[in-house]
Structure 1
Amino acid sequence: MVVLETQRLILRQYEDEDITSLHRIFSDPETMKFYPAPFSIQQTQDWIKRNQDRYRNDGYGLWAVCLKETNELIGDCGLVKQKINDSIEVEIGYHINKKYWAKGFATEAAIACKEYAFDKLGLNKLISIIDPKNVPSIRVAEKIGFTKEKEVFIFGKNHYIYSGVNESNAGQGY
């Protein structure tokens, strides 16, 4: 099911058949450098299942990012509830196949997800959880208008929390 379209991309819900394409991305050590380790096939399958559960429970999750031109799955991007300290925040997360890095795809997908979260879901704030050494991910967060809010210990190590607020709701008592 297609959720969002941009100029070059389609973001859609994961299907079970996406496992091979997604595993090619998630099993790559360079792509997964800021995760504890590249994913096994089982971890990739669990990732798809977890996001399918999110679609049902939250109405959103990480979506497959596909090139409009070829329908090739090149990564994922979407919205995920995360517990930061004692509060639940909604994160924009993104992973793009390294073959497509530095072409603006992560930024294009993240902007679409940000607009969806603010305009369609009415959320007031979004975050991105980023390893301090992940400079390309920091650049994406900054390009979509996020700024560094704080540093927290999460997922077993320190991460930056970048955030952005829904400007159209500013000052409306939300």
Structure 2
Amino acid sequence: MADEIRTERLVMRRARPDDVTALHRIMSDPVAMRYWSTPPHTELATTEAWLESMIGADPAHSDDFIITLDGASIGKLGAWKLPDVGFLIDPAEWGRGLASEALAAFIARRRALGSAELLADVDPRNTPSLKLLERHAFVETHRVAGTWKVGDALCDSVYLRLDLRPR
């Protein structure tokens, strides 16, 4: 299956080294990174290492994409480690339905590839992400306290699951 996903407004493609500047702008933004699994990136080298891990991930276990809009990188969506889906969108693009559009396309791709499920781990304070996943038929399975240490803060998790098997 192609390494590119096209939607009405977006092109989702594999990460490239030249994505680092746009991704660092997003990943150094405290608003964008509020519920991410790490604090905002203060050094470009941190984003470079993160991007290199995305580029070098084993395709047998990873299906991750950079989201582009009009040729500009505005975030990422996919599974760095299948079947766990994650996404990060530039706050300047929030509220336009782009995350929903990208997620729908990714779900369709994973369904076409025969995946059984997708999973998500979300900070319970991240209401917009929880609502987005629920709109795409993810169902909460359970909650666990103290699952992530981000900086000095211990964060909780809401776990969700989407069954992709045909009914």
Shorter-chain TM range is 0.7 to 0.9
**TM-superposed deviation, 1:99:** 0.4
Q: For structure 1, which segment, 153-162 or 13-22, has the greater mean C-alpha deviation from structure 2 after superposition? A: 153-162
* Secondary structure of 1:110 counterpart: helix
Checking the alignment, whether the CA contact within 8 Å between 2:86 and 2:120 is kept in structure 1 is yes
Task: Please name the residue that 2:96 is paired with.
Answer: 103
**TM-superposed deviation, 1:125:** 1.0
**TM-superposed deviation, 1:154:** 2.9
AA aligned to 1:25 is I
In structure 2, which of residues 102, 112, 121 is the aligned counterpart of residue 119 of structure 1?
112
Task: Please name the residue that 1:85 is paired with.
Answer: none
Task: Please name the residue that 1:161 is paired with.
Answer: 159
Identity of aligned residues (%): 25
Task: Please name the residue that 1:72 is paired with.
Answer: 72
Unpaired stretches in structure 2, ≥5 consecutive residues = 150-154
Checking the alignment, whether the CA contact within 8 Å between 1:62 and 1:78 is kept in structure 2 is yes
Unpaired stretches in structure 1, ≥5 consecutive residues = 82-88
Show structure 1 runs of 4+ deviating over 3 A: none
Alpha-carbon distance in 2 for matches of 1:100, 1:142: 20
Per residue, is there more helix in 1 or in 2? 1
Task: Please name the residue that 1:45 is paired with.
Answer: 48
**TM-superposed deviation, 1:41:** 1.2
Aligned residues: 158
Q: Can you list the C-alpha shifts for 1:100-128, whole angstroms capped at 9, x where unaligned?
A: 001111111111111111212x1111111
AA aligned to 1:31 is A
Q: Equivalent residues in 2 for 1:1-174 (5 A)?
A: 2-35=3-36, 36-39=38-41, 40-54=43-57, 56-58=58-60, 60-67=62-69, 70-81=70-81, 90-120=83-113, 122-152=114-144, 153-156=146-149, 157-168=155-166, 170=167
- RMSD (Å), alpha carbons: 1.7
Q: Can you list the C-alpha shifts for 1:109-167, whole angstroms capped at 9, x where unaligned?
A: 111111111212x1111111100000111111112111111113533332001111014
Checking the alignment, whether the CA contact within 8 Å between 1:79 and 1:90 is kept in structure 2 is yes
Q: Can you list the C-alpha shifts for 1:68-112, whole angstroms capped at 9, x where unaligned?
A: xx211111101132xxxxxxx611111110000011111111111
Checking the alignment, whether the CA contact within 8 Å between 1:125 and 1:164 is kept in structure 2 is yes
TM-score (norm 2): 0.87
TM-score (norm 1): 0.84
